[in-house]
Every structure is written in structure tokens, then in C-alpha cells.
């Protein structure tokens, strides 16, 4: 009878102790999982990087392609340059949009243009030019058909402005605006600004 009682005593505590210990220990791990999830949710804000703004380079002076006469600079723009300038100039766009008899002014009359600038600025500008072309269909000798005097407004130091020169000679005659000279005036204007005066050589 004694051996049998001893065997029963050993079998009873073993499964009970092992089962209880394991079941209790595992659930206690769950708070650790919660703690980790909470820490991940807190996102530390990184300091914003300072953006350094680089100032635009100063325009080259004197301007490329311009011819100088003292502190006055001038350039004759080609057709492509004139179109590009007009796209950024409301004044020039408005001038080119003028119509005569329903036709754009420079599609009806011979036109020219000059870009001018001054180191110290000008109160107003005076541009003088000639209208030159072949004498006739049979005579290719160049002849001056008229003169154009164009007045334009004020410009500041190193400001480039484009002055449109408009004749009153039909475009189909293929006359060309040439011999262009620009004068930078410092004194107040006494004439209408802007304005264009065309004088035919036959008058």
C-alpha cells in the first residue's frame, strides 16, 4: 500500500504546477506590445531645412550686341528679337496692334525698330531715321523717300526700351527704315510724347 500512495502524490502536483505557470506568464507579455505601438505612433518632427534664396544675377552691362556712343547704347533688333520683346512689353504689343483700314499698322506701312538704353537714364528719347528704297522697279538705285522722327518716354538707368519706328509708305514698296540715330534727352520735353512725325522727301 505504501508504494501506491507515493506514486499518486508525485503525479498530482507536476501537471498542475506546469500548466498554471505557463498560462499566467504568457498573457503578461501583452502590455509590452501595447507600449511599443504607442512609441511608434509618436513621430518626432524633423527640423526644417533652411532654404537659401540665391539672388538673380545682375544683367550684363553694357548689353550684348549694343553699340555705345558715350553713355547711350543702341541696337537694331531682328524680327525674332522684336517678337520676343513684344511678348513681354504691353506698350510694344499695343503699338504693333494698331490698325489702319483694318490692317495691322506694320503690315500696311514700312516699319523699323531700335532698342535703346542709357547709363544714367533719360527724360525722353528722340529717334531720327530715313526711309530708303529702290528708285523704281527698273532703277535699282537706292533713294531716300522720307525721314521719320520718333519721340519716346522716360527710361531709368540701364533700362532697355524698344522704340517702334513707323513710316507712312506702303509696305509693298519694300522701303527700309535705316540710318537710325537715338538721342537721350535730359531736359523736360516740350513736345507730345510719344509721337511720330513722317516727312516725305517729295514734299
Segment 112-137, tens digit of pLDDT: 999 999 999 999 999 999 999 999 98
- Residue 187 in any domain: the answer is yes
Residue with cell 527710361: 155
Cα 14 from Cα 23, distance rounded (Å): 15
Per the structure, the count of domains in the chain is 1
Cα 113 from Cα 177, distance rounded (Å): 8
Q: Is residue 169 helix, strand or coil?
A: strand
Question: What's the burial of 175, exposed, middle or buried (CB within 10 Å: 0-12/13-18/19+)?
Answer: buried
- Residue 13 in any domain: the answer is no
Cα 82 from Cα 59, distance rounded (Å): 19
Domain ranges, residue 142: 69-200
Cα 92 from Cα 161, distance rounded (Å): 9
- Residue 156 in any domain: the answer is yes
- Residue 124 in any domain: the answer is yes
pLDDT for the residue numbered 43: 61
Phi, psi angles (nearest 5°) of residue 142 = -75, 140
Contact 175, 145 (CB under 8 A): yes
pLDDT for the residue numbered 202: 78
Q: Pick out the chain residues at pLDDT < 70.
A: 1-47, 49-59, 203
- Residue 78 in any domain: the answer is yes
Radius of gyration of the chain (CA): 44
pLDDT for the residue numbered 203: 62
- Residue 36 in any domain: the answer is no
Residues paired with 128 in a beta bridge:
149, 181
pLDDT for the residue numbered 42: 60
- Residue 53 in any domain: the answer is no
- Residue 129 in any domain: the answer is yes
Amino acid at each position: 500500500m505504501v508504494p501506491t500512495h507515493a506514486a499518486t502524490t508525485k503525479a498530482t502536483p507536476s501537471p498542475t504546477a506546469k500548466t498554471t505557470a505557463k498560462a499566467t506568464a504568457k498573457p503578461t507579455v501583452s502590455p509590452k506590445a501595447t507600449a511599443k505601438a504607442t512609441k511608434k505612433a509618436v513621430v518626432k518632427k524633423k527640423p526644417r531645412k533652411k532654404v537659401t534664396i540665391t539672388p538673380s544675377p545682375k544683367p550684363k552691362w553694357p548689353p550684348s550686341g549694343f553699340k555705345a556712343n558715350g553713355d547711350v547704347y543702341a541696337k537694331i533688333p531682328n524680327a525674332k528679337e522684336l517678337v520676343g520683346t513684344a511678348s513681354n512689353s504691353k506698350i510694344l504689343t499695343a503699338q504693333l496692334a494698331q490698325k489702319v483700314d483694318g490692317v495691322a499698322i506694320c503690315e500696311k506701312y514700312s516699319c523699323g525698330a531700335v532698342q535703346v538704353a542709357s547709363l544714367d537714364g533719360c527724360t525722353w528719347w528722340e529717334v531720327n531715321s530715313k526711309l530708303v528704297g529702290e528708285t523704281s522697279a527698273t532703277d535699282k538705285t537706292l533713294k531716300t523717300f522720307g525721314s521719320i522722327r520718333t519721340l519716346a518716354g522716360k527710361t531709368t538707368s540701364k533700362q532697355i526700351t524698344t522704340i517702334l519706328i513707323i513710316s507712312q509708305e506702303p509696305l509693298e514698296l519694300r522701303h527700309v527704315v535705316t540710318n537710325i540715330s537715338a538721342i537721350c534727352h535730359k531736359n523736360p520735353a516740350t513736345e507730345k510724347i510719344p509721337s511720330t512725325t513722317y516727312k516725305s522727301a517729295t514734299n
